[in-house]
A and B are shown apart, each in its own frame.
Chain A
Amino acid sequence: NAGVTQTPKFQVLKTGQSMTLQCAQDMNHEYMSWYRQDPGMGLRLIHYSVGAGITDQGEVPNGYNVSRSTTEDFPLRLLSAAPSQTSVYFCASSYSTRRNEKLFFGSGTQLSVL
């Protein structure tokens, strides 16, 4: 079972470059989300989606775009990378948005912006 797959695992960018972090899940989950993890700040929600064609902003959306054209895929785009976007990024999904449903996490992408 693949679960939630994120690529790449590591990435180094220069300021101003753009890139896309890929996320795919094979569990037919309705809900998908992106978090960033920074020391001392826990996980902060960037964007989320409750189904194909539906996305919304989380707590820290600036500088990031998302789209959800299929149930399986939820890519995160950095439009013009900044050093403040150096972080570990996690994609997570759940079967539904019911309050008792757990999140399944990918293994993360470590991004450094120089």
Chain B
Amino acid sequence: GNSVTQMEGPVTLSEEAFLTINCTYTATGYPSLFWYVQYPGEGLQLLLKATKADDKGSNKGFEATYRKETTSFHLEKGSVQVSDSAVYFCALREPNTGNQFYFGTGTSLTVIP
């Protein structure tokens, strides 16, 4: 079946530190991959996505590359800010299962000044 595994949190970083949040997936077909971000008290919003192998999604300084050989979609940012404090969800959407979304459990990030 399909599943998404994210690194356990919470993660606490100092401002301007480098961020990596690991995400690996299992899929029966050829999924699209997504990172969503949830700020306190809000719904999830799309951060970036990639739809085929070797694609790089990027937005607001965040990047993730679709690695089919390692079934991974790790989220990175070179220099985090306090405003990046949020919960980050990795997700996939895959046609063999009716194009339903599968979400990871989320990784909480806190950035301290």
Contacts and interface: CB of A to CB of B under 8 A. Distances in A.
B32 A90 contact: no
Interface string B12-56: 000000000000000000111010100001111110010100000
A19 interface: no
Contact of B46 (A40, A42, A102): A102
B73 interface: no
A103 B101 contact: yes
Interface residues of B, number: 25
A107 B101 contact: no
Interface in A93-114: 97-103, 105-108
Task: Pick from B30, B32, B42, B100 the residue with the most CB of A within 10 Å.
Answer: B100
Nearest to A45: B100
Nearest to A6: B43
A48 interface: yes
A102 B33 CA distance: 10
A99 B2 CA distance: 14
A90 B89 CA distance: 14
A99 B31 contact: yes
A2 interface: no
A43 B94 contact: no
B46 A43 contact: no
A58 B49 CA distance: 23
Interface of A: 4, 33, 35, 40-43, 45, 48, 58, 90, 92, 97-103, 105-108
Given A102-B46, A102-B49, 6 more contacts: A33-B101, A42-B104, A43-B89, A43-B101, A48-B100, A92-B101
Interface of B: 30-32, 34, 36, 41-46, 49, 51, 89, 93-95, 98-101, 103-106
